[in-house]
Amino acid sequence: MIHAPSLLRRPFFFFSSSSPPPAPAASCILPPPPLLRPHVISSLARTPISLRCSAADSRSPSNREMAAQQDPRLAGIASAIRVIPDFPKAGIMFQDITTLLLDVKAFRDTIDLFVDRYKDKGISVVAGIEARGFIFGPPIALAIGAKFVPLRKPKKLPGEVISEEYSLEYGTDKIEMHVGAVEAGERALIVDDLIATGGTLNAAIRLLERVGVEVYECACLMELPELKGRDRLGDKPLFVLVQSSVDAHDHH
C-alpha cells in the first residue's frame, strides 16, 4: 500500500493520450467522487473533493490548450462512481465502480468511449489486467473484433504461463499470461481500471513485448497523475478518461 498524504490535490476528468483523441471536452466543475484504490492510497478519508473535465493529448501540447465542446458522457460516468470512506479499513477512500456497472448508460458510455477510439486500428488483442481489467476489456474486445487475453496474478492460470515481475512498495509481484495466447506481430491494447504508480502496466507492456507483440496503447478509466505512473510506461501512450487528485490538507 502506498501512503501518499501529501501527493494528491483534486480530481478531474480527462481524455489523455498520445494518439488523436476523441472530441475534446471543455473544463467544467463537477461534484465528487475522489478516485483512489484502497490498495494504492491510504490515510485520505473524508478529504474534500472537486472534479474537473477536460481533454488532452499527451503527444501534442497544442491539443491540451484547445477548448472544445464538452462530451456529456464524462459527467455521467463521473456521477456513477461511488466513494465509500473507511473501506476496507479506516483511512481509505474506496472508489466503488459497482455503481457505474449498475448504471446501464454510464457503463455503456464508458465502453463506447474506448470503442470509438480503438475501432479500425488493427488491434487484434485486448489484454486485461486482473481484476478490473476483466470488466472493461472483454466488451471492448468484442466490439472492435479482437480477442481478450487475461493477464493474471500468479498461480491463477491453469496452463503453461509466461510471467513478468514488477516492484511494489514492499517486495515484488508478478503477472502471468498463457503461453500461446498471443502471437508475434499482433497489435495489443492493454486495459485496466486505474493507473497509479504504473508498475502493473509497465509489467504488462514488457510481458507482451517479450513475445513480439506490438503494444498500441494502454487504456484506463482512472489515473492518479501525482503518482507519475505514466512516466514508467516509457514511450507507450496512455489514454485515460478520468484523472483524480485529492486535496491533502487536513480538513477534519
Catalytic residue set: 132, 169
Q: How far is CA 136 from CA 8, 49, 177, 185, in A?
A: 26, 26, 18, 24
Which three three-digit cell numbers place residue 179? 503461453
The residue behind cell 481500471 is: 193
Whole-angstrom distance, CA of residue 88 vs CA of residue 5 = 18
